[in-house]
Amino acid sequence: MARTPQLDRKIEIMIRAELSVPPQYEMMIGPREKSDVSGYDTIAVTFSLPGQPSRTQTVDFLLSKDGNTLARLSKWDISPDPTAQLPTEGRPVRGNPLAKVTVVNFDDLECPYCARMHAEFFPDTLDHYKGLVKFVYVDYPLVEIHPWAMHAAVNANCLADQNATAYWNYVDYLHTHGPDVSGPDNNPAKAAATLDKLAEQEGAKENVDAGKLEACVQKQDDSKVRAEMKAGDKLGVEATPTFFVNGERWAGELPESQLWIMIDRALKAEGIAPPPPEAPVPPVSTKPTGAPSGR
């Protein structure tokens, strides 16, 4: 069927309705071109906001040869190894370093949702899989809403540079004492002082080089954190927690049972049998021993 103004109008009406295109956006429908899908041609539709060139986007649609069906085909490049794109090099590892399944978590140390997800990871998940899984945390502080998250990430990295145990102790503490760091008045300067003191204490416990740690904390070089945030942006990370189980992504909190489904799936893909499900704990009876039964 030949292109006509009437057909273009039908296409525009349908796209605006199905994609909820704001009225202020203009649409330009390109010519029909041969597609890879039998029975369909490709048409490129350009959406633009007058006066704002940066808000222009072109999307390909499929139009049937008879002009009666419009479709949208999404393509994804699956050639890259999803795990190879994760910025995990040099990051501290928790669990078995040789495990075939890796959970990479983009974490914000001030994020309450991250704290709850952290509690799902440790100790239950780590204990359940007994060496079959390892965890790596990558920094993604939401600086617009969490005033001390960047400072905490930098301090954590200062500890990680010398001692992985000190790093994880620091992360554990912040994910269980976030409100204590924020304080009743949410004063960023007080929070920073608290974070520095905590880093010093963790470093002392693990016998790190105190002078080197202090210099790193005082410098507050956030370039490494920014690089990890940029890598996260390229992977589509927009919020925390966002984690990848051998490349499979989930954003937001996830109940432990569903997290384990993801890990089990990754283990099976590696040819490893997951641990058996844990038996439910029977309810504890509050009835005294030997008490008569009711009628």
Answer for the pair 44, 30: CB distance below 8 angstroms, yes or no.
Answer: yes
Q: What is the number of structural domains in the chain?
A: 2
Q: Quick one: pLDDT band at residue 205, thresholds 50, 70, 90? A: very high
288 found inside a domain? no
Question: Does residue 174 share a domain with residue 43?
Answer: no
Residue 100: which residues within 8 A CB-CB, separation 6 or more? Answer: 132, 267, 270, 272
- Maximum Cα–Cα distance for the chain, whole Å? 88
Residue of 29 and 279 predicted with greater confidence: 29
Parent domain of 46: 5-71
191 found inside a domain? yes
What pLDDT sits at residue 74?
Answer: 78
Residue 38: which residues within 8 A CB-CB, separation 6 or more? Answer: none
Question: Does residue 186 share a domain with residue 147?
Answer: yes
Question: Does residue 132 share a domain with residue 16?
Answer: no
Question: Does residue 88 share a domain with residue 66?
Answer: no
How large a percentage of the chain has pLDDT more than 70? Answer: 94
pLDDT in tens, 148-204: 999 999 999 999 999 999 999 999 999 999 999 999 999 999 999 999 999 999 999
- Amino acid letter for position 89: E
Adjacent-strand bridge partners of 49: 52
Residue 273: which residues within 8 A CB-CB, separation 6 or more? Answer: 267
Q: Quick one: pLDDT band at residue 288, thresholds 50, 70, 90? A: low
What phi and psi values does residue 293 have, to the nearest 5 degrees?
-80, 150
- Single pTM value for the model: 0.76
56 found inside a domain? yes
Q: Would you say residue 275 has pLDDT above 80?
A: yes
Cα separation values, 68 from 7, 120, 185, Å: 9, 50, 62
Comparing C-alpha atoms, which of 88, 79, 102 is closest to residue 266? 102
Q: Would you say residue 267 has pLDDT above 80?
A: yes
